[in-house]
Amino acid sequence: ICGMIATLGYDGFLYSIGYLAGWVVALFVVAEPMKRLGKYTFTDALDAKFNSRGIKLSAAISTLVVSICYLIPQMNGAGSLVEPLLGLPHWVGVIIVGIIVITIVATAGMTSTTYVQFLKGGLLLIFSTILVGFLMFRGASTDQPSLTGDDGESLRYIPVEMTVADMEAGGYELLHTSGDFSKYSLDGDASWWVNDGSSLWKCQWQTADLVNGDPDGLLYPVGRIKALGGMTADEAAKGTGPQNPISFLAQLTHPDTRIEQWHKTKIVDEAGTKTTVFYPKTVTGTDQMKPGVKFKVKTGWEKTNFVSLMLALFFGTAALPHILIRYYTVPSPACARKSTIVAIAAIGFFYILTLFMGLGAGINGTVNPADNNMSAPLLAMSFGGVLFAIISAIAFATVLGTVAGLIVAASGAVAHDLMDRYSGMDLTEHQKVRAGKVAAFVVGIIAMILGIVFRGVNVSFLVGWAFAVAASANLPAILMLLFWPKTTAQGITASIFVGIIAALGIILTGPAMFAGPY
């Protein structure tokens, strides 16, 4: 979410609003009624009144599909964390997390998962608040601190601005032009430049083997303030000094504030070489917090898309298997309600913090243009290695907690719902536990493979898939079961299967998949 806010402004924050609203649905619709059913899994709860094999099968499949859809972004994010933290490749990070979580679930199950989630939730709130406090104390400036690499060199990337005349006078040779982009060479070192109508800006770029022309090159963190509204250039370089959250937002949304964001495009030159170019684009402070950058709502189809996403976030939260499973671990319906209220307060406060962390990353040059998932930890890195290590460790623990909960839900669906209840194997408790451990191992392997495949795709975007499937398949079945006396087993079964097929079908054949992952 911080990465989306850093690169998209207000539209990225809409994910925070959507996720939080989902907990309100969970409070008023799901929490107490689900607990009163007194069952162990989502499938048991849906099947409480029917003893239907159709419900057992459909609910177990839905649990597995939603869990795997949610595991993809979690594993992807884990790999993004390990790259800068330990200097290991993305795929190694995914495998490390997979092994740790499979071990947690297979050895200690729900108890360890509960403690991991409780501890990481508390630490996340505390240190995110500290990070935002540091950000407010620094304020805004056109002269930001630099990140440093292992060799002590600055990782700040300020794009070079030149005119065409400067390029020619400097001995640059024009190799290729594609739209607004031109490829120049100087002494054999070729690079891409974007023409903004008045001057040329040097871009970051990568091909299959090279990053910025170097086999071991870096895509340097980007995003900065070019001008602060109401301040001269000298005053803006000195900065605003310490600010409170209101003055910080007011300064960044000033119409005369200029913020340099980064976008990417793919270019194919005459030789057929595919190059990904990351180029600077300046927006005003007003545009930074104006809705509609990502979610266009001018046409009826665009409005439908946006409403669909918000409905998925609102209704998906209350129907996620690893959240529903929480309601079976508290002693009473009153406790279910109370715990949800506490969750809403804590999560609501945290999502407010994401707005400031995202904007802070977008103006402090801590956005990785190729993978903005690391925006918050890199923002922490700009304050020093200790805070970076703490924030990264907490983010890592967050991945562990969520993945553990998902694998608990998925392994329960396999061992308890499919093998024991649907197939009628009549397993003993010991056999069910063993089957659950094997299922945890298999689901973990699948999640690792998919986490590696979807490298570089924004995690919040991927999480939306799980919410879409849960909202389409699970929530209608829950609502009908709880609030409509005429509900039948066939109706619940059909609801789940139609929801899964419709949601997955639209996701897998949608333009976002062909533009990115495929």
User: Tokens 């030159």 map to which residue?
Assistant: 269
pLDDT at 150: 59
Q: Which of 10-24, 108-122, 243-257, 417-431 has the highest mean pLDDT?
A: 243-257
* Per-residue CA distances from 215 to 19, 210, 300, 316, 372 (Å): 40, 5, 46, 43, 22
Backbone angles phi, psi at 404, to 5 degrees: -60, -45
Say if residues 35 and 328 touch (Cβ distance below 8 Å): yes
Q: Is the pTM above the cut of 0.85?
A: no
Q: Which of 172-176, 224-228, 367-371 has the lowest mean pLDDT?
A: 367-371
Residue 185 or residue 427, greater confidence: 185
Q: Is the pLDDT of residue 249 over 90?
A: yes
What does the pLDDT average to over 276-304?
87
d(CA 265, CA 36): 52
What does the pLDDT average to over 48-63?
87
Among candidates 166, 161, 205, which has minimal Cα distance to 183? Answer: 205
What does the pLDDT average to over 319-333?
77
Which pairs count as long-range contacts for 384-387, CB under 8 Å and 24+ apart, including other chains?
387/127, 387/130, 387/131, 387/134
Q: What is the average pLDDT value for the chain, to the nearest integer?
A: 85
pLDDT at 354: 94
Q: At what angle do helices 385-412 and 90-138 cross, to 10 degrees?
A: 130
pLDDT at 245: 94
**Cβ atoms within 10 Å, residue 209:** 7
Outline where DSSP puts E strands in 285-428: 364-367
d(CA 369, CA 372): 6
| The token pair that represents 293 in the structure block | 């950058």
| The token pair that represents 95 in the structure block | 């495998």
What does the pLDDT average to over 146-150?
66
Confidence of residue 330 (pLDDT cuts 50, 70, 90): confident
**DSSP H or E run through 476:** helix 475-483
Q: Which residues, in sequence order, are bridge partners of residue 195?
A: 200
User: Tokens 């700040």 map to which residue?
Assistant: 156
d(CA 241, CA 244): 10
Among candidates 79, 101, 61, which has minimal Cα distance to 444? Answer: 101
Note the maximum CA span of the chain. 82
d(CA 518, CA 514): 5
pLDDT at 433: 80
Exposed, middle or buried by CB within 10 Å (0-12, 13-18, 19+), for 517?
A: middle
Among candidates 510, 518, 487, which has minimal Cα distance to 47? Answer: 487
Q: Could you tell me which residues come within 8 angstroms of residue 467 by beta carbon, excluding any fewer than 6 positions away?
A: 22, 312, 313, 315, 316, 317, 320
Backbone angles phi, psi at 256, to 5 degrees: -95, 0
pLDDT at 145: 66
pLDDT at 228: 92
DSSP structure class, residue 192: E
d(CA 249, CA 5): 13
| The token pair that represents 330 in the structure block | 């508290």
Residue 133 or residue 188, greater confidence: 133
What does the pLDDT average to over 207-218?
84
pLDDT at 126: 95
pLDDT at 118: 84
What does the pLDDT average to over 231-257?
92
- Percent of residues, the chain, with pLDDT higher than 70: 95
Confidence of residue 153 (pLDDT cuts 50, 70, 90): low
Q: Is the pLDDT of residue 38 over 70?
A: no
